[in-house]
Structure 1
Amino acid sequence: MNPTKKIIFIATLLSAIVIQPASANALQDIQQRGELRVATDMSLPPSGMLDASMKPVGSDVETAELLAKDWGLKLKFIETTGPTRIPNLQTGKADIVISTLSVTPQRAQVIDFTRAYAGLRSVIAAPAATKISDWTDLKGHAITVTRGTTQDSMLSKDAMTKGITVQRYDDDATLVTAAVSGQAWAVATSATLVNQIKKQNPKLAFEPKMTLTVFDLAIGLKKGEPELKQKLNQWIETNLKNGKLNAIYQKYHGEPIPAEIINRK
């Protein structure tokens, strides 16, 4: 290729690159499509589950339904699992994630989060008759946890200094069985799971005794989508103030959204 033709070729290539139209942002894509695609795990009751007729129900399901209704959009659930929530978002299969997604520094490196729309209270719980008010009351006792959970990590770290023993089960179902049958003196888990234990054995009446921490549950979205994030944050703020999100949470979790979430500025 002679120099003149080479210059013309390069100029043509550059002009083609420059005039490529910018792709629409995520919010515009959603509005033009008229449909909101939400990744939600349907195997995490009471946040996401399928009823007897295989219809999605749960607190995250109703949250997504309220969002789509308020925005005048059709709603499409992208069924997901815990490990695939973020990949479904990154690959464009879902527009947002509403699926008990807690905010962590590691996740914040790869996706963006809205402000919290709900919270997950991590507690130490025991039968109503058991007197527990602080760590000294736990000394010399075994606290039951689900293996590999944040509660397991938190208690294992300080077990020696606090004088407690950590008793582990491989899944939540086994932990619940141990508590319901009276095998567990106390458990460290989510307040939501404590409510399920109480329902299965009202006589023991397991109840939260101490709060370990409150996890922010937020909507996940791709990085670099400021318009979508701002609109979502405005929607969350409005529906925390008017009580609609709290009503949904109370309906399924048996307690209100933690005050730390609602009162946060």
Structure 2
Amino acid sequence: MFKKGLKVALASLVILSLGLAGCGNTSNTQDTSKQAANSGSAKVLKVGTDPTFAPFEFVDEKNNTTGFDVDLMKAIADDMGYTVQYENSAFDGLVTSLQAGNYDAVIAAMTITPERLESVDFSDKYLMAEQFIAVKKGSPIKTTADLKGKKIGVQSGTTGQTVVEGLGISPLKFDAIPDAMNDLLNGGVDAVVADSPVVLYFIKQNPNFNIEYVKGDFTKEYYGIAVKKGNTELKDKFNASLKKLHDSGTYNDIYKKWFNVDAPAIQ
């Protein structure tokens, strides 16, 4: 956390730019998409997310959940004939809540990993990312190897935590990326490891904070929409809609809205 004065103001700006963490909600354990389809009423997809991960999902100045993932899920739901109801939760609790039936799906810039595939199923991959190292300008950290012996911040439960721990480093774990970035700016950590689009967006939104990134040599990652294990019907619907959005150019339009460039091929 920042101390009084200027540092408090800076922390407020960071939190505003990246969004605020929400609270988890519960529901019954039946698949709500199937309930809605059978009832003949408006079909609703209950989707879990963690709105602290700009530009993918965050809370805007009007207290609305917005971002790339939000726009993408709306386009998918529109194609399927559904509306979306978001349930906000801390990232590291999303999979457990999905398993419990509290959501129909999770979209939260969630990387498809072998470990997660043991607990949930994923749609086809919809975006490629990698881990970047955020540091203050002038930092001696220039490579991944330079992280050794340093204090590294990560968001709990993310692949950022996984790769840092894979280096034999015990990172400082935060509930949200804004908290980790605040600690970086305040000198509490020497670097923050997070998904590349999130780091780039933070730097773009806060040009006066003198933050830069180190690309490192981490492997590429792919995001997917998580569904409850065995929910092949919903997964197949997501995949069919994702293909339509790619073929029609809608996916590229959404990508360009948030990243100002055409969407790269997912390889």
Contact kept? 2:77, 2:83, Cα under 8 Å: yes
* Structure 1, unaligned runs of 5 or more: 1-24, 160-165
Secondary structure at 2:81's aligned position in 1? coil
Q: Structure 2 CA distance, aligned partners of 1:167 and 1:254?
A: 35
The 3-state SS of whatever aligns with 2:215 is strand
Is 2:46 the partner of 1:43?
no
Greater strand content? 1
Unaligned runs of 5+ in 2: 1-30
Post-superposition CA distance 1:110-138 (Å, at most 9, x none): 321111122442123456777987557x3
Residues 144-223 of structure 1 mapped to structure 2, 5 A cutoff:
144-146=152-154, 150-158=159-167, 168-171=171-174, 172-180=177-185, 186-191=191-196, 192-202=198-208, 204=210, 206-223=212-229
Amino acid at match of 1:71: M
Measure the CA separation in 2 of the matches of 1:197 and 1:62: 22
SS at structure 1 position matched to 2:123: strand
Q: Which of residues 65, 68, 72 in structure 1 aligns to 2:77?
A: 68
**96 and 79 in structure 1: CA distance in 2 versus 1, 3 angstrom threshold:** same
> Could you say if the C-alpha distance between residues 140 and 61 of structure 1 is closer, same or farther in structure 2, counting changes exceeding 3 Å?
closer
Inter-CA distance 139–81: structure 2 relative to 1 (3 Å threshold): closer
* CA 92–146 in structure 1, closer or farther in 2 if over 3 Å, else same: closer
Residue 97 (structure 1) shift: 1.9
In structure 2, the partner of 1:110 is 119
Task: Decide which moves more: 91-100 or 111-120.
Answer: 91-100
Over the matched positions of the two proteins, sequence identity in percent amounts to 20
Query: What is the aligned-residue RMSD (CA, Å)?
Result: 3.8
Q: TM-score, normalised by structure 1?
A: 0.65
CA distance in 1, matches of 2:120, 2:170: 34
- Cα 1:120–1:139 shift into 2, 3 Å: closer
**1: CA distance, partners of 2:241 / 2:120:** 19
Tell me how far apart the structure 2 counterparts of residues 193 and 65 of structure 1 sit (CA, whole Å).
Answer: 24
CA shift for structure 1 position 66 = 1.0
Structure 1 pair 116–209 and aligned structure 2 pair: CA distance change class (3 A): same
> May I ask how many residue pairs the two structures share in their alignment?
230
Gap change, CA 1:139 and 1:193, over 3 Å in 2 = closer
Shift of 1:186: 5.0
In the TM superposition, residue 215 of structure 1 has moved relative to its aligned partner by 2.6
* 1:245–1:78 Cα change, 3 Å: same
* 1:194-238, Cα deviation, whole Å (9 max, x unpaired): 431453244735134335133322112233333332221122233
Check the 8 A contact 1:116/1:217 in 2, yes or no: yes
Larger radius of gyration: 1
* CA 1:115–1:223: 2 relative to 1, 3 Å: same
